[in-house]
Amino acid sequence: MPATLLLERPRPGVLLVTLNRPKRLNAIDEVLRRELTETLGSVDDDVHAVVLTGAGRGFCSGIDLRDFGPDAPDADAPASERLRFQESMAALPSAIRDLPQPVIAAVNGPCVGAGLALCLASDIRIASAAATFGNAAILLGLSGAEMGMSYHLPRIVGTSVAADWMLTGRTVTAEEADRRGLVSELVTPDRLVDRAIELASTIAELSPLGVQLTKRALQVNTDATGVDAAMELENRNQVLSHATDDAAARRQKWQK
């Protein structure tokens, strides 16, 4: 079992990944970065949906600025070294996006910086009423655009709202996040993980190929040049999925 993650299989086809540094609000240190990267890169085919959440009262408070570990470069490090570190952090949301399986972020508390990046890269985001969201990097004198935020956030909430959040670094409440469309559902704190698992289980019961093709189509067609290009991809995906034994069995079940 990883030192900084809890991995559970609460339902068939569902993997629950819990960031487990609750005393640090699940801030990402060197070990957590490595273990999360390895875990996301080794999800097996028996998993059809992933739930990502945090232990304790936080989802993820970003990079552990106090004690990341020896891999964190200091301000005097060469630019190439600092770039490699930034790229290693950016690989985390990329790993979520690249997973064939859908990822549901269950945001239970503060979701800041790198934590927000993980949330944005997920396919579905639900939150408890105790959740808060923030960019934070700009408050430290850094660019507010990092780890895919300037790509994902405007596509989710719109360019003006994204600019507001990223340029000010202000804390966004769960209610505002829901109103702006950042999350698809607000639930009470005690129901959050159960609801996320329930949603993941519903997805896991569907055709794995159909679900994976849908995830990819949603990603690709967000940037499609037009509806014709979007429908071209959809048409090909339908032909691919229609020819599978799984689809044939499910059609027969519906026809009975």
Identify whether the C-beta of residue 51 lies closer than 8 Å to the C-beta of residue 16: yes
- My answer on whether 187 and 219 are in the same domain is no
Query: What is Dmax (Cα atoms) for the chain?
Result: 69
- My answer on whether 119 and 230 are in the same domain is no
Amino acid making up residue 150: S
Lowest mean pLDDT of 113-127, 133-147, 172-186, name the range: 133-147
Kindly report, residue by residue over 148-177, the tens digit of the pLDDT. Answer: 999 999 999 999 999 999 999 999 999 999
Structural domain including 32 reads 5-204
- My answer on whether 53 and 169 are in the same domain is yes
- My answer on whether 93 and 130 are in the same domain is yes
The string of DSSP letters for 167-200 reads HH---EEHHHHHHTTS-SEEE-GGGHHHHHHHHH
* pLDDT at res. 12: 98
- My answer on whether 46 and 140 are in the same domain is yes
Task: Looking at mean pLDDT, say which of 185-189, 231-235, 240-244 comes out highest.
Answer: 185-189
- My answer on whether 59 and 150 are in the same domain is yes
- My answer on whether 149 and 87 are in the same domain is yes
Count the neighbouring beta carbons within 10 Å of the beta carbon of residue 242. 11
- My answer on whether 126 and 112 are in the same domain is yes
* pLDDT at res. 61: 96
Identify whether the C-beta of residue 184 lies closer than 8 Å to the C-beta of residue 155: no
- Give strand ranges (E) for the chain: 5-8, 14-19, 49-54, 103-107, 110-112, 124-128, 132-134, 172-173, 185-187
Count of domains for the chain: 2
Residue 255's pLDDT band (boundaries 50, 70, 90)? confident
- My answer on whether 119 and 213 are in the same domain is no
pLDDT over threshold 70, residue 256: no
156-159 contacts, C-beta under 8 A, 24 or more apart: 156/120, 156/181, 156/182, 157/181, 157/182
Averaged pLDDT score across all residues of the chain: 94
Sign of CA dihedral 197, 199, 201, 204: negative
* Mean pLDDT within 18-37: 96
**The pTM of the whole model exceeds 0.85:** yes
* Mean pLDDT within 66-74: 74
- My answer on whether 49 and 144 are in the same domain is yes
pLDDT over threshold 70, residue 211: yes
pLDDT over threshold 70, residue 83: yes
* pLDDT at res. 69: 67
Lowest mean pLDDT of 65-69, 70-74, 88-92, 191-195, name the range: 70-74
CATH assignment of the domain containing 37: 3.90.226.10
Contacts of 61 (CB under 8 A, 6+ apart): 24, 25, 26, 27, 110, 112, 113, 115
- My answer on whether 229 and 137 are in the same domain is no
- My answer on whether 160 and 51 are in the same domain is yes
Kindly report, residue by residue over 86-109, the tens digit of the pLDDT. Answer: 999 999 999 999 999 999 999 999
* pLDDT at res. 243: 84
